[in-house]
A = this chain, B = another copy of it.
Amino acid sequence: MLDQEGALERSRPAPGADPGPGPTASRPRVLIIGGGFAGLTLAKELGSTETDVLLLDRSNHHLFQPLLYQVATAGLSPADIAIPIRSVVRRHQNVTVRLAEATHVDFDAQRVTLSHGDALDYTYLALCAGAQTSYFGHDDWAEHTLSLKTIDEAVEIRRRVLLAFERAESLPPSPARDRHLTFVVIGGGPTGVEMAGALIELARVVCRDLRTVKAEDARVLLIEAGPRILPAMPAHLSTHATEALRTMGVEPMLGRAVSHIGEGLVELGDTRIATETIIWAAGVSAIELTKKLGVPLDERSGRILVGPDCAIPGHPNAFALGDIAYWAGPDGRPLPGVSPVAMQQARYVARIIRDQVPTTERRPFAYFDKGTMATIGRSRAVAKSGRFEVAGAFAWFLWLFVHIFYLVGFKNRIFVLFSWIWSYVTYRRAARLITGPRLPAPRPRS
């Protein structure tokens, strides 16, 4: 049980080390890569069953991604939307957690190699490592933009945005001051829309405390290459959202593709926007690991093509779930990269593993679409579920309720709920904190 791991370790583990559970005749070992919505749900579903589950993640926490933009805009603290993975699965003695990164999978040998050299054998593998920010071939844009996938990135956005206001406050009216007060959000999906709305509201909160910068001085531009924002929504809700953003002061720029991003500069064809803060919310692709797997990938985003049973074709015991997987259902439309897909796939795969269902007897995964929603700002949101479509304050309450409900951990629910009530009543932000490198040297440009 220990030997299979010792092979690649520098020092052979002695009894008492944590090798993770090993496969035995009766108990299959399930290796889960990633503790996001898919991986954590799968681990919980397999908890206290006749399996040995080993969950690997690079972080020690499960992150509630849908509220990450609120960390970036100083509304919530990082700990409010994160929970230690170990705490979540503690009661399940068959589940082991390990802080590690997978670097290679040998599907034939049923073995995964980790970044620090260990190798782990598995009976079942579940790849749930999610997605990463994609620049659609313009990887050089990464250095000039801020993205929003991890807590560290969210805290960096918060730092940069709050510093921009501080810098503007210390400058006379000038192009430099305008540049600090111009915030560009690229991508009109839910993340971009929520980010833009939250930014303009944050500007209002911060500027109340400033002496020379007024809220009207701050510009938030939302750039979308397609004809409308929130393309997953019905057209009239997109229009509603666009108008709501305009009312709040956001400048939506639709049908405008970014042609160039440089230092402090976004170009849309002939239009040049001078800005110190560019937030990239335009797209995601699968993580780098997928490229090294030697399995068929979706051409556009590099996701792992899976069969109707969420398994990788030819490897019935290896599954890919959530954002890392690509499956175009019977209607040819790929599943959206949202948490309900990940969680439903996890429950589906848990059943296959628990009952050791052979390939031939697996009924295809069916996604039950509960709907989609996006918040725009204070008392403003849009939501759609089946034929039920709603916009405005009621949609906003629905959004709040759903997000509190799905947030993992009692403490987090209380903290987020209280933060929201407090922010709503006081027009403040709970985490208006500049941490990390302070006081960047002024740019040499004028």
Contacts and interface: CB of A to CB of B under 8 A. Distances in A.
Interface of A: 10-18, 58-61, 77-80, 82, 84, 86-87, 90, 96-101, 115-116, 151-152, 155, 162-163, 166, 169-174, 206, 208-213, 411, 414-415, 418-419, 422, 426, 428, 430-436, 438-439, 441-442, 446
Nearest to A163: B99
A61 B172 contact: no
Given A17-B171, A77-B80, A439-B101, A209 B433 contact: no
B79 A172 contact: no
A79 B433 contact: yes
Contacts of A99: 163, 166, 170, 434, 438-439
Given A99-B170, A174-B11, A86 B435 contact: no
B17 A172 contact: yes
A96 B211 contact: yes
Given A16-B212, A411-B428, A58 B439 contact: yes
Contacts of A419: 411
A214 to B, nearest CB: 10
B442 A430 contact: no
5 contacts: A14-B173, A78-B433, A79-B433, A84-B433, A414-B418
Nearest to A210: B86
Given A152-B436, A436-B152, A439-B115, A90 B209 contact: yes
A83 to B, nearest CB: 8
A61 B97 CA distance: 36
A435 B17 contact: no
A209 B87 CA distance: 6
Contacts of A441: 116
B430 A79 contact: yes
A439 B152 contact: no
B116 A442 contact: yes
CB-CB nearest 4 A-B residue pairs = A17-B172, A79-B431, A86-B209, A77-B77
Contacts of A11: 172, 174, 446
Nearest to A446: B11
Given A77-B78, A173-B14, A439-B100, A87 B428 contact: yes
A37 B415 CA distance: 27
Contacts of A116: 439, 441-442
Contacts of A434: 59-61, 99
B90 A208 contact: yes
Contacts of A100: 170, 439
A166 B85 CA distance: 12
A316 to B, nearest CB: 29
A60 B96 contact: no
A169 B211 CA distance: 52
A77 to B, nearest CB: 4
A97 B174 CA distance: 20
A18 B211 contact: yes
A212 B433 contact: no
